[in-house]
Amino acid sequence: MARRKKKQEIFALGNEAVVEGALIAGCTFYGGYPITPSSEIMEIMASRLPAHEDGVFVQMEDEIASMGAVIGASLAGRKAMTATSGPGFSLMQEHLGYACMAEAPCVLVNVMRGGPSTGLPTSPAQGDVLQARWGTHGDHPIIVLSAADVQECLEMTIKAFNMAEKYRTPVILLIDEITAHTREKIELPNPGDYEIHSRVVPSMPPEWYKPYEETVRGVPPMPPIGSGYRFHVTGLTHDRNGYPTSRPDEVDELMQRMHRKIDQFFYDIQLTEETTCDDADVVVVAYGSVARSAEFAVQQARESGVKAGLLKLQTLFPYPRRAMEKLLAHARTLVVPEMNMGQISREVKRVNMGRASVRTINRVDGQIITPSEILKVIMQG
Amino acid sequence: MKQPMELQRFEIRFSGLGGQGIITLGKVMGAGLALGHGYNVTQTQSYGPEARGGSSRCDLVVSSGRISFPKAESLDLLVALSQEACNAYYPYLKPGGVLVIESDIVKQPPTNHYLGLPFTQLAKDKVGIVQAMNTVVLGALTHLLPFTVQRVMRKSMEETLPAKIRAVNVKAFNLGHREAKKHFGESPEVWGVAPEE
């Protein structure tokens, strides 16, 4: 048997790991505008992409245009991404909705900093969680992922690209300043270690092609512009041919399909990680860098005899309700620490339906929630 | 390489003034411990508008196992290269932790249990450039820490730094190591031994 090649190790920032992940996933386009604490992603992309065979890097005039460029690149057949932080994320909302409607696969990394407005540019927060889900107007489906450590930044970026391509949807990856600016040792995967998905392109002759046709998966095939398949792209509600319509039956079909394509693949999309949850009385539900504090707190609680567990959310939306419902069979208390005034805790309470008691820990002073703060609440039961 | 000894969350903080090379020191040492010595390491740093000219801080957490919480909370080793930093972070040193100071700059150490060397003067006199001060510190710490190997740390440092400043840094590294051996004595027994014993 051939010996497996030893994996290359690097000592990298969370932001660097995002870039590594994107390049492994096949990203060949980056359009963006720098903003702290996400700037390193753009900086490294600017040096790495032009060295790539057909990589394109564009610094746009602002975040609105950045997202526009990303959608354009995506329609032209590229795997495209951008990265930003709070204020830039607000500007990107308009085109984010366009990407949902045009079903243009793309990845948007939001490194969360303190808000609202320009807020705390150099401090961590988790205030954009509900904005990521509901920031753009209209009843749109979207996938929101998060990453807690540097290795996970790499893995979740690959998964974000895979989901975007599989389901023809924008995917938002939320990380926070702490994860983005922590250096850790990570392993770079060998080629073939990860499954890489690319969008399905049409196989029928161009004259038979209908750009938004109903399919079993709910995801129509997508040709790159210029490959002979003609289609019309619009932000207006459109029919199967891509032309604007307001006929209720056609509108309903489109909206139902767009939601169905995300909802029906919950088992593929809703990712969580459990630590000592099997017999836990107290379960901490956390995501992002706070999940690392929670892991430390849970470990300390176990050492002092409290049956504690951690449910780390890697997918935030669609909310992984099944993973949580399973734990509600034995959990008496749920602890939800967040660096905001309580955004995911709303989802937790919704799924909980009064079964366990929900304790929230909220911190909005630009500092990380420490393990001891979480441990204190765990010990109170 | 195989880890020289088993570690459970060993926390190091480098602190001083912006421009002293605190963050570079942390990065080089972190890379050395992670890639050279095979430990799990997280490196975080003060990140803010005050980073230029003001105070600077860089934390390392080193462990044989998985590191959950990435920030340093109770320090095993505090390196203070300014009086202000020494005053600010000394309270976070855990009982039995070691304080290393720049003895020319930190005039009022908060305790008599400390290890001090005039790192800046050493760099200026013996290496020729004051900017190599952080590497002198790195050399001294490599002697001081029981889980670092001089050869391995020096090699990782050479790999991390750009070619044109490599030679001068090797000189500074060796100087720091030598001076620490002369003035600090053998690696202190405090690590792994309870303070009251």
What is the pLDDT averaged over residues B159-181? 94
C-alpha distances in Å from residue A161, one per residue of A52, A158, A173, B162? 18, 5, 10, 34
Q: Quote the pLDDT of residue B195.
A: 39
Contacts of B42 in chain A (CB under 8 A): 182-184
The residue among B12, B71, B160 with the most chain A CBs within 10 A of its CB, best to mutate, is B71
Above 80 in pLDDT, residue A296?
Answer: yes
Reported as a single tens digit per residue, the pLDDT across B56-82 is 899 999 999 999 999 998 999 999 999
Task: Please check the confidence at residue A25 and state whether its pLDDT lies above 70.
Answer: yes
Name the residue ranges covered by the structural domains of chain A. 8-188, 273-379
pLDDT one-digit tens code per residue, A112-156 = 999 999 999 999 999 999 999 999 999 999 999 999 999 999 999
Instruction: Please give the pLDDT value at position B190.
Output: 61
Residue A344 has pLDDT above 70, yes or no: yes
The confidence score (pLDDT) of residue B5 equals: 86
Query: B10-184 belongs to which CATH class?
Result: alpha beta
What average pLDDT is seen over chain B?
90
The Cβ-side half-sphere exposure at A309, using a 13 Å CA radius, reads: 24
Mean pLDDT for the stretch of residues A79-89 = 97
Average pLDDT over all residues of chain A = 95
Exposure string over B3-19, b if 16+ CB within 10 A, otherwise e: eeeebebbbbbbbbbbe
Among candidates A9, A184, A293 on the partner chain, residue whose Cβ is nearest the Cβ of B69? A293
Give how far B59 is from chain A: nearest CA, Å.
10
Q: Which of A75-84, A219-228, B1-10, B36-45 has the lowest mean pLDDT?
A: B1-10
pLDDT of residue B193: 46
- pLDDT of B197 reads 35
Q: Which fold has domain A273-379?
A: Rossmann fold (3.40.50)
Shortest Cα distance, chain A CAs vs residue B34, angstroms? 6
Q: What is the pLDDT of residue B54?
A: 76
A8-188 shares its CATH topology with A273-379? yes
Check CB contact of B9 with chain A, cutoff 8 Å: no
Model pLDDT, residue A299: 96
> Residue A257 has what pLDDT?
96
pLDDT at B2 over 90: no
- Full strand arrangement of the beta sheet holding A8-13: A8-13, A183-188, B40-45, B55-63, B10-17, B75-80, B93-102, B115-117
The answer to whether residue A318 scores a pLDDT higher than 70 is: yes
3-state helix vs strand vs coil in chain A, percent to 5: 40, 20, 40
Interface contact A9, partner B, CB < 8 A? yes
Write down the number of H helices and E strands in chain B: 6, 6
Judge: B70–A182 Cβ closer than 8 Å, yes or no: yes
Element (H, E) at B174: helix B166-184
Q: Given a cut of 90, is residue B123 above it in pLDDT?
A: yes
Percent of chain A exceeding pLDDT 70 equals 99
- The reported pLDDT for the residue numbered B96 is 86
Give the distance from residue A107's alpha carbon to the nearest chain B alpha carbon, in angstroms. Answer: 26
Burial class (CB in 10 A: 0-12, 13-18, 19+), A259: middle
With 70 as the cut, is the pLDDT of residue B52 above it?
no
The CATH architecture annotation of domain A8-188 reads 3-Layer(aba) Sandwich (3.40)
Average the pLDDT over A235-239 and give the result.
96
- Among chain B residues, the shortest Cα distance to A370 is held by B69
**pLDDT at residue B189, rounded to an integer:** 65
| B35–A contact, CB cutoff 8 A | yes
CB-count burial class (<10 Å; 0-12, 13-18, 19+) for A18 = buried
Predicted pLDDT at B72: 93
ipTM of the complex: 0.90
Q: Do B42 and A183 touch (CB under 8 A)?
A: yes
**What average pLDDT score do residues B78-90 get?**
94
Shortest alpha-carbon distance between residue B183 and chain A (Å) = 32
Interface contacts A/B by beta carbons within 8 Å:
62
Residues of A in contact with B41 (CB under 8 A): 11, 183-185
Minimum Cα–Cα distance from B37: chain A residue: A185
The pLDDT of residue B194 is 39
Of A11, A122, A299, the CB nearest to B68: A299
pLDDT score of B51 more than 90? no
Residue A2 has pLDDT above 60, yes or no: no
Residue contact B27–A183, C-beta within 8 A: yes
The percentage of residues in chain A with a pLDDT greater than 90, rounded to a whole number, is 95
Q: How far is B27 from chain A (nearest CA, A)?
A: 8
A44, A47, A309, B112 from A50: Cα distances, Å = 11, 6, 45, 56
